Amino acid sequence: MALGIVERDFGGVTVLELSGQITVGEESSQLRFKTKAVMESGRTDLVIDFGRVGYIDSTGLGTILAVFTTAKSLGANIKLAALGKKFRDQLHQTGLEKVFEIYAQVEGAVSSYHSST
């Protein structure tokens, strides 16, 4: 199943709504390409919405970490929102929940950018 990515702007915060799965191959490449293109265009406040993602394999998890690392090197900030239970469990088991800013809902992640300025 292909990864769907819908880009939306909420007051200067770019939200990438993902749907499908993030696995080895095309899906992981799509996510890397899209996030890098957004950041290189000068949009540095991003929220990735996982509310419609059904499955993330270990490669997908590595991709999300690589996207986060790229963001830091480009002076961008990425926050994660609407994670499913399995994904939250993966982040907890790997200790990565301490690396990412995680929000239960997209709205909370978006508003966190506005409250920090």
- Please, what are the domains in the chain? 4-115 (3.30.750.24)
**Sorting pLDDT into bands at 50, 70 and 90, what band is 8?**
very high
Mean pLDDT of the region 79-108 = 94
Mean pLDDT of 41-54: 96
31's CB contacts (< 8 A; 6+ apart) are 3, 5, 18, 22, 60, 63, 64, 67
Provide the pLDDT for residue 116.
56
Please compute the mean of the pLDDT values over residues 13-19 and round it to a whole number. 97
Cα–Cα distances (Å) from 33 to 26, 72, 78, in that order, read 10, 16, 15
| Residue in 20, 17, 21, 72 with CA at minimum distance from that of residue 44 | 72
Encoding tokens for residue 63?
A: 């991709």
Strand partners, 5: 18
Instruction: Give the pLDDT band (50/70/90) at residue 115.
Output: confident
